[in-house]
Chain A
């Protein structure tokens, strides 16, 4: 799942390296609007529907945080 998430992130914002252990939000790699696009991609890739109220920066600050959010939505 980790590779898949990194691949989605790289497709979405190819100018950044999401393999690096940065805080994606603090480093300006993802902003709230990128997150909206990311949610769309995650929804269609994993066939889920992430709640609007889970669209919080901390849920997208790292690959691990995204994995946790996906797990909450039933993705194993």
Chain B
């Protein structure tokens, strides 16, 4: 297993598979140069492969996200069986339509569905009311607390929790709003504005401040930030029925786009030996 050292190296690996391909290539890897350059700089992005298949591994907390680029089902299966990282705790994200065949390939290898998310969208310029005076842009001092709340209340495997450097970048772009009660954070909303699209990333209200309409006040402020956008998008855990009902209340509807989170049998194996 080697550390990935450059974007060129990634492109070369992709090309080597592509040259051998006679049909379509199977992958869950989409090159994102800024993001993957940052992974390379942090030295937590690894590669291993055979002539038919390349795997990339991104370290996160106690597990690795696994990305694959393979010629076909068989090459993925054969290559993975030789992979020295196969017994690590591995997570695969597969995004696509509900009947995606890639999910089945990995289930046959022994991965299980850990969770699934789907995308909801609201079309149109958002309407909003006056912004509550307790809502403001987060400061650098707020980041540590926000990070703690994210780690405690969101699922690190399914919800891709940003690390502190990511949060700093989001803060720089003005993408974190907090609701302050005296000096405490009563809640926050993290979002991303991209041209005509507004993305909701995390929305949280502290349990002790619930039933004070802080959540809806934050959501109103979020919509105000996207007042020039034509659509608003979010991903929600398929099991989070309360959140789904709330998003529907705000006019969000389902799209036929799923994110399946698959996990290998690391836990089962380790429990067996403990």
A49 close to B (CB within 8 Å)? yes
Known A-B contacts A40-B97, A52-B69, A53-B69; A29 and B195 likewise in contact (beta carbons under 8 Å): yes
CB–CB A26/B123 < 8 A: no
Known A-B contacts A15-B231, A28-B197, A33-B119; A52 and B124 likewise in contact (beta carbons under 8 Å): no
CB–CB B27/A26 < 8 A: no
Query: Which chain A positions have C-beta within 8 A of B17?
Result: 53
Q: Which of B122-175 contact A (CB under 8 A)?
A: 123-124
CB–CB A28/B96 < 8 A: no
Q: Which of B1-37 contact A (CB under 8 A)?
A: 14, 17-18, 21, 23-32
A-B contact count (CB 8 A): 61
* Nearest-CB residue, chain B, relative to A37: B257
Complex Cα–Cα for A37 and B184 (A)? 42
Could you tell me how many residues of chain A have their Cβ less than 8 Å away from some Cβ of chain B? 21
B181 close to A (CB within 8 Å)? no
Query: Which chain B positions have C-beta within 8 A of A32?
Result: 30, 32
Query: Which chain B positions have C-beta within 8 A of A51?
Result: 18, 21, 24-25
Query: Which chain B positions have C-beta within 8 A of A50?
Result: 24
CB–CB A49/B23 < 8 A: yes
User: Which bracket fits the contact residues of B?
Assistant: 20 to 34
With both chains docked as a complex, state the minimum distance between the C-beta of B227 and any C-beta of chain A, in angstroms.
14
CB–CB A52/B29 < 8 A: yes
A46 close to B (CB within 8 Å)? no
Query: Which chain A positions have C-beta within 8 A of B229?
Result: 28
30 A/B residue pairs, CB under 8 Å, sorted by A: A14-B123, A16-B196, A26-B195, A27-B195, A27-B196, A28-B193, A28-B194, A28-B196, A28-B197, A28-B229, A29-B197, A31-B194, A31-B233, A32-B30, A32-B32, A33-B95, A33-B257, A36-B257, A37-B257, A49-B23, A51-B18, A51-B21, A52-B24, A52-B27, A52-B29, A53-B14, A53-B18, A53-B29, A55-B30, A56-B30
Known A-B contacts A16-B196, A51-B24, A55-B30; A36 and B18 likewise in contact (beta carbons under 8 Å): no
B246 close to A (CB within 8 Å)? no
Query: Which chain B positions have C-beta within 8 A of A31?
Result: 194, 197, 233
- Contact surface of B with A, Cβ cutoff 8 Å: 14, 17-18, 21, 23-32, 69, 95-97, 119, 123-124, 193-197, 229-231, 233, 255-257
CB–CB B123/A36 < 8 A: no
With both chains docked as a complex, state the minimum distance between the C-beta of B171 and any C-beta of chain A, in angstroms.
20
Query: Which chain A positions have C-beta within 8 A of B96?
Result: 36
Query: Which chain B positions have C-beta within 8 A of A36?
Result: 95-96, 257
With both chains docked as a complex, state the minimum distance between the C-beta of A65 and any C-beta of chain B, in angstroms.
16
* Nearest-CB residue, chain A, relative to B18: A53
Looking at the complex, which one of A15, A29, A49, A53 makes contact with B123 (CB distance below 8 Å)?
A: A15
Complex Cα–Cα for A33 and B259 (A)? 10
With both chains docked as a complex, state the minimum distance between the C-beta of A30 and any C-beta of chain B, in angstroms.
9
* Nearest-CB residue, chain B, relative to A40: B97
Complex Cα–Cα for A28 and B191 (A)? 14
Query: Which chain A positions have C-beta within 8 A of B194?
Result: 28, 31
Contact flags (1/0) for A31-44 with B, using CB distance below 8 Å? 11100110010000
